[in-house]
Structure formats: structure tokens, C-alpha cells
Amino acid sequence: MSKKARDFQKNDNVYSLVEKFYKNSSVYEPFIEQKTIEKYLRRKAWDKTLEEELCFIWFALETTLVYMSEYEIRELDTLGIYDHLEILYRLSEKEIGFTLSEDDTKHYYAIIREFYKYWLAELGDTDENVDEFIEACRALLYVKDVYHIPPRHDAEEFYSSLDTKEVIPPEDIDKLNQMLDALLKRVGKYFQSRRYQRDFERALALYTGPEEHIDDDWDTLSIHHEDFWQSFWDYFLFDYHLIATDQIPLFVYFFAEEKNLTISEQDIVRDLLHSEFRIFYVTGTTEDVVNAHDLFTDELIEMPVSDWLIADYDHMIYFGHMHANGIMMLNYVTSLPASQKLRTRMKEILENELELFRCRVPEATLADFLSRESAAVRHILHIMSAFAQLNLLTDRKSKRRSPIPKKVVEKFTSARNHLALFALKIGFSCFAAKLLTNLFDDYICKAKVEVSPYELSSILTACIIAFGNLNGLHFENVSNIESVLGAPPNRVAYHLRGIEERLGCTMFDARYLVEEGFVFSLYYE
């Protein structure tokens, strides 16, 4: 506890602090009534809340009241997410032991969530979605899942100021779109450097599939090709996972270039990183709004009218990334012909692919699947739309992985690390290396043999070859891999048969599929 908090407890109780605050200025009464705060604090005390915590609750409410008065915000529930960010900064300046750490900010929002609900109940209003708003406030403090609080904002900051406007004027929409377009072009240029050449080429291969080849230069592209590249960048920046880190490019860009971004640009990237890949169809339009529905949940999505809308929209399927909290932002939207019947079949096929994905990640959500396997999802939609055949893609089945005993994990830690390191050296992504070690673990458990160092090299080699084969990544020179690891060819062949028989591995086994495997499986006959 801070010295100031201890002094408060010695000389005053929390109720006297509230009394003094309101007595010194009557200006705060219209914002939140004194009796409401006192009643709330007494209820908390009755629930055996410690005096120290009661004092902090009051400090948070006091700071909020001063802020509301300063900016003439008359209702507590009209505070926006950036208002609460400023309140956090002001709380950190008080000598009460509050910092901008993750734990302290969680504590603040827990207090605000509870008080919001109490205050609304006192007003007889229970319609407000307090939990959703508080989560939006907390999400502002994270970049993906990494706690990284934004810098302090000026009231005149362009992007954050839009959050307070009920209706955003057309000129501000135009300015935002220009900022977004310019920013995404800078991000794209960043990843066209030699450093990311392998990733760029791999992403293109995943995006185009095994039957396409792109060698056009950006500056000489036709309008048709321009659409291709816009759609590709939507995939690359938001969904592609980098070879070395398994992070998406936009996330990497933010932390690499944060110091070179304005506060508004930082805010835009943060919001974009919270965007979701959505597949939707349109049911109607008004002068300003497009009424769309999520393909999987049928949730209504209201979007601003834009040039991506096709006249024959009721026979189309759309997909792209959108950020819907606060300011609606859409990146490039792809449209494909699809009747209502075909859309239903698309949904069925994608849900089946989700179940295959769960063979590897049992707890995976739809969002997890769409994020990791966005390339395959796009291919499925394109294939089904292009050929207009409901049963073009057949339903596939696969086994789920069994839990690995702890003793196996511990016993083969060194071998597993050696396998992962070798996989990285021969060009596997770090994600693929992890799935490769899963294959190794599963085989070791099923083989149930005491593995000698001599035999281990053969097992490791067999795992690499089997993993490549089931993902459609065939090695041109297997003998080189065998020689590097010192594995006798006959023993490698023995364990290759063992992997197939004991694990029941088949081509494109969903338990061990990387992104390439998911895409290639769609074209395999």
C-alpha cells in the first residue's frame, strides 16, 4: 500500500473522502450522485471488502468524475475506450501505488465493470452491454495477445476522436480511407525486402495453389491483376504465418516500426490486428448501409456502402477482414458468384474442414481455423464457385491425436529438439517443425521400443520423410537426409512402414497437416 493510502486510512475513512470531494465542489453531483457512490461503497463494505480496496475504488471514481467534468461528459456510459485510457494514465500519476501494469489495469476495469452495472441498475437500465464495452476497453491495451498499452492520446488525435462521434462525416471517412490505404502500402513495401523474400514466395505459393504461377511485376499489372494483388495482401498481412516466428506480418510490422508511426497510425494498426476474417452474404441495402449475414452464424452485419458491392449481390459470397468495434473498417473484400444452395454447401464443406483441423487442435474455434488455414479456405471458396458443383470437394475423415505420456516427453526431449532444429535448417517453418515433433512423439508412443542412439537417427529420418510425404512435400534426394543424420536406408524404410501402420497415417493426414498440406489436399486426386 502506498503512503498516501495509509495516511487516508489513519485520518479518514473512505466515506469522509467522498464527503469532502462533493462538499468542495457541487459540479460533480449531476454526473454521478454522491448518494449513489456512498451506497455502492457501503454495499462493498458489507461484502467484507477491505478499506484499502474501498479507497482505490473511490480513487478510480474520483478520477473519472474529474475527467467527466473537465470534458463535460454528462453520462458515465458515454465515456469511450480512449476516455478510459486517459483515466488510466491519470490514475498512474496519483500517489496511490497504481501503475500501468497488466495486473493493475485489469483491476481497474474489474472495478469499472462492476460499478457500471450497479449504476445502470440504480437507474433502472439493464440494456447496456457493459461486458462487451469493458472488453473493448481492455482489448485496446493489447496487440493481439501481447499486453502493450498505447501512448497517451491528445484530445485532438484524429483516429481516436472518431470514436466519440455518433455520425462520422464523409470527409473524415475519406481521410481515414486514405490513411489506411497509405499505411497498408507502406506495410506491403516493408515485406517486399530481401529479408522476407522466402516468406513472400511461400505466401504466393500458398495463395495461388499448386497449379498457378505468378511472375508479374507490381508496376506492370493490369486491373485484373491489381485485384489479385489486393486480395493477396489481405491474406498475407492478416493471415499468413511467417516461417521463422509463426507470427502474422502485420503484428511483426507494428513492433518493428512502432516508433515510426503516428499515434493515429498506431491506433489503426492495433484495430486492424483485432479484425476478423469473415465470410458473408448480402441480403439488402439502403442508401448508406449494406445488410450482410455471417455465413456460419447468420449474424447480421451492418456495413457502409462501398464499391465492393456487386449489383447481383444476392447471388454472391463475400470474404475479407473487418474490424467492427467502434469504427467499421474493411480491408479488401473478395466477391465470388454463389447461389444460396451453393453457399449452404460451402458452409458444410468448411465446417467439415474445421473438424479435420480439430484432429490437430481439438479445442479450436472457427476463428482459429479461419486464421490458420485462410489460404485453404480461400481455395475452397474459389474452387466451388468456379466449377459451381456442390459435391466437387468430398468430405474427408481423420483420426485425432492421443495424449502423450509425460515420461515420453521427458525421455525424448533432446531428440525432439534435435529433430526440430534439423527441420528448421532444411527449410521447414517453425510451425511445421512443431507438427513434425508431434509425429515423432506419436510414433515413439506406438512403437513402444527402447530406442538406442543408433536407432534414433533412423526414426528421426523416417519422421521427416513421412511428414513431408503426407503434406505433399516430397524430397528430391532422400539419401542426403539419411546421410546427414547417419541413418541406414533399410532401417529408415522399416520405420516409414511403422509410421504408416502403427499411426494409420494416410496422405494429407489432418493430425500433421501444415498450411501447404491443407492447400495441396484440395487438388489431390
Handedness of CA 118, 119, 124, 130 (dihedral sign): negative
CA distance 418 to 440: 11
List Cα–Cα distances, 515 to 202, 243, 368, in angstroms. 10, 11, 13
Q: Nearest to residue 108, comparing CAs of 137, 69, 65, 77?
A: 137
The set of residues, in sequence order, having a beta carbon less than 8 Å from that of 152 and lying 6+ positions away, is: 85, 86, 89
CA distance 105 to 468: 46
CA distance 61 to 235: 44
Neighbours of 406 (CB within 10 A): 8
Are 354 and 396 in contact by the 8 Å Cβ rule? The answer is no
The C-alpha angle with vertex 488 and arms to 414 and 453, in degrees rounded to 5, equals 25
Bridge partners, 458 (sequence order): none
Are 130 and 116 in contact by the 8 Å Cβ rule? The answer is yes
Neighbours of 192 (CB within 10 A): 11
Neighbours of 435 (CB within 10 A): 20
CA distance 422 to 412: 15
Neighbours of 101 (CB within 10 A): 12
Are 238 and 251 in contact by the 8 Å Cβ rule? The answer is no
Rounded to two decimals, the pTM is 0.88
Note the pLDDT of residue 483.
66
CA distance 7 to 131: 34
| Nearest-10 Cα torsion for 243, 244, 247, 248 | -50
Give the chain's radius of gyration (CA, Å).
Answer: 28
CA distance 371 to 339: 25
Q: Nearest to residue 4, comparing CAs of 48, 47, 56?
A: 56
Strand pairing category for 300-304 and 276-285 = unpaired
CA distance 87 to 444: 55
Neighbours of 102 (CB within 10 A): 14
Phi/psi region, residue 337 (left: phi>0; alpha: psi -120 to 50; beta: rest), is beta
Q: Nearest to residue 33, comparing CAs of 75, 63, 70?
A: 75
CA distance 135 to 113: 9
The set of residues, in sequence order, having a beta carbon less than 8 Å from that of 112 and lying 6+ positions away, is: 60, 64, 84, 134, 137
List Cα–Cα distances, 452 to 35, 54, 502, in angstroms. 76, 64, 20
CA distance 307 to 363: 38
Q: What is the mean pLDDT of each run of 10 residues along the chain (525 residues)?
A: 49 86 88 94 94 95 95 88 96 94 97 94 80 93 95 90 81 88 92 94 93 50 68 94 97 97 94 91 86 93 76 87 67 88 93 92 93 95 81 69 85 91 92 96 82 81 93 69 75 92 91 94 81
Q: Mind listing the domains of the chain with CATH numbers?
A: 3-150 (no CATH), 170-272 (no CATH), 406-505 (1.10.472)
Q: Which residues of 284-297 are buried (b: 16+ CB within 10 A; e: fewer)?
A: eeeeeebebeebee
CA distance 455 to 491: 8
The C-alpha angle with vertex 287 and arms to 285 and 288, in degrees rounded to 5, equals 90
